Amino acid sequence: MLGGLAWLGVAGAPGDGADSKSAADHRGAADSGKQGADVTPEGFVACSRLIVEGTVVRVEPVPGAERDTITLTATRYYKPAKGPEKVTFRMDHDVDPRLKPGDRTLISIPKGEEYPDNWATKAVDRASLRDMVVNALPGSRALKCSKAPGPGA
């Protein structure tokens, strides 16, 4: 989970609050009709099932697993445009940075997945990710995500 925002040209290095899967994991995930087209910010948004910003209110270990259940109070939905006040998702322990209660964060979860692929906790990283998402939203609506849905789709 490294440098995902960097491949979009919006932020950081590992451990600075902007982490995700590598660009190689995302290539070809969204496509505007060209086979194997590089993923753009619009493609990233098109292939996300959830993009939300808020504050972490609870982190609970999952019994018998190396992961936590994270509960976030949502302050703004980007995709979909609306949703419940509380958002719950899981994150592995081996991520950096690990979320903790009180953290302000902006997360994205890909279509067909249960775990975030991007999250930003530092204000500058959240602002960069937010700007990228907001600017890409209009163009993302015309794209179809060619990434095969996983079990959570």
Q: What is the pLDDT of residues 61-92, one digit of tens each?
A: 999 999 999 999 999 999 999 999 999 999 99
Tell me what the mean pLDDT of segment 104-125 comes to: 95
Count CB atoms within 10 A of the CB of residue 85: 9
User: CA-to-CA distance for 18 and 102, rounded, in angstroms?
Assistant: 17
Domain 4-145: which CATH class? mainly beta
First-to-last CA distance in the chain? 21
pLDDT recorded at residue 90: 95
pTM for the whole structure? 0.74
> Which candidate, 58, 53, 57, places its Cα nearest to that of 75?
53
For residue 97, cis peptide bond before it (omega within 30 degrees of 0):
yes
More confident residue, 31 or 99: 99
pLDDT recorded at residue 39: 77
pLDDT recorded at residue 147: 63
